[in-house]
A and B are shown apart, each in its own frame.
Chain A
Amino acid sequence: GAGVSQSPSNKVTEKGKDVELRCDPISGHTALYWYRQSLGQGLEFLIYFQGNSAPDKSGLPSDRFSAERTGGSVSTLTIQRTQQEDSAVYLCASSFLWTSGRLGGEQFFGPGTRLTVL
């Protein structure tokens, strides 16, 4: 498809388990973002990948969270030793590199992965 895809759509896990969330960005988009959206909250930035540059990890809430992006395309967000407060919808977005002109900049979002930690 032409859009951003994420899998799984839903994930229920037990506290202490590790989970992996996957994101397939739009082909040709060099930038990829992960966000977290808790119930009734706005978007919380987690991590940003841009081409071959080092990722911006400044939004990761703890060292239990990590992400990688292989071959400049697919990305995996890993949460180790999950806690109940990790329960949220995890959103992935991709975009072209920002330019100063009229084009580019807007992010295209996947449908999200709803993570529930019991």
Chain B
Amino acid sequence: AQSVAQPEDQVNVAEGNPLTVKCTYSVSGNPYLFWYVQYPNRGLQFLLKYITGDNLVKGSYGFEAEFNKSQTSFHLKKPSALVSDSALYFCAVRDRALGAGNNRKLIWGLGTSLAVNP
């Protein structure tokens, strides 16, 4: 069965320090992987995705994520955190084997709350 795990409910980091938000997945085939961010009282925003190609994906607001097939992980990273990065982050996965046109099968993690302290 497909699943996504975000093992940390909350991550705290000091402003200016690097941040990592973890995500691991389980799919039967190869994955498509996504990160979304939800700022307080706002809807989810797409950050970045891994489809194919380079394992290191760069996205919005200076975030990047590295696809690691052997560890089945797609951790979100940023070299220097900002207070404004404080938000709820969601990882999502889709199994490539499901084929085109099957949008709804995006499996979501439960989210990680990131708090960046000044």
Q: What string of 1s and 0s marks CB contacts (under 8 Å) between A75-112 and chain B?
A: 00000000000000001010101111110011111111
Does the CB pair B46–A101 fall under 8 Å? no
Contact mask for chain B residues 102-116; partner A; CB cutoff 8 A; 1 contact, 0 none: 111010111100000
Residue A20 interfacial (CB < 8 Å): no
Smallest beta-carbon distance B96→chain A, Å: 8
With an 8 Å Cβ cutoff, the count of chain B residues facing the other chain is: 26
* A42-B109, A42-B110, A42-B111 known; A98+B46 contact, CB < 8 A: no
Contacting residues, chain A, for B43 (C-beta < 8 A): 4, 91, 109-112
Interface size class of A (residues with CB under 8 A): 20 to 34
B51 touches A98 (CB 8 A): no
Task: Check A48/B49 contact, CB under 8 A, given A42-B110, A106-B34, A110-B43.
Answer: no
Query: B38-77 CB contact bits vs A (8 Å, 1 = yes)?
Result: 0000111110010111000000000000000000000000
A window 7-22: CB within 8 A of B: none
From DSSP, what is the main secondary structure of chain A's interface residues? loop
Is B118 in the interface zone, CB < 8 Å from A? no
Residues of B within 8 A of A108 (CB): 46
Between B34, B44, B45, the greatest number of chain A beta carbons within 10 A of the residue's beta carbon is seen for B44
Are the CB atoms of A50 and B103 closer together than 8 Å?
A: yes
Q: Are A107 and B51 in touch, CB under 8 angstroms?
A: no
With contact pairs A42-B90, A109-B45, A111-B43 given, residues A33 and B111 touching in the complex (Cβ less than 8 Å): no
List the 6 shortest-distance A-B pairs measured between CB atoms, nearest first. Answer: A48-B104, A42-B110, A109-B43, A109-B44, A106-B46, A111-B43
Query: A-contacting residues of B (Cβ < 8 Å)?
Result: 32, 34, 36, 42-46, 49, 51-53, 90, 94, 96, 99-104, 106, 108-111
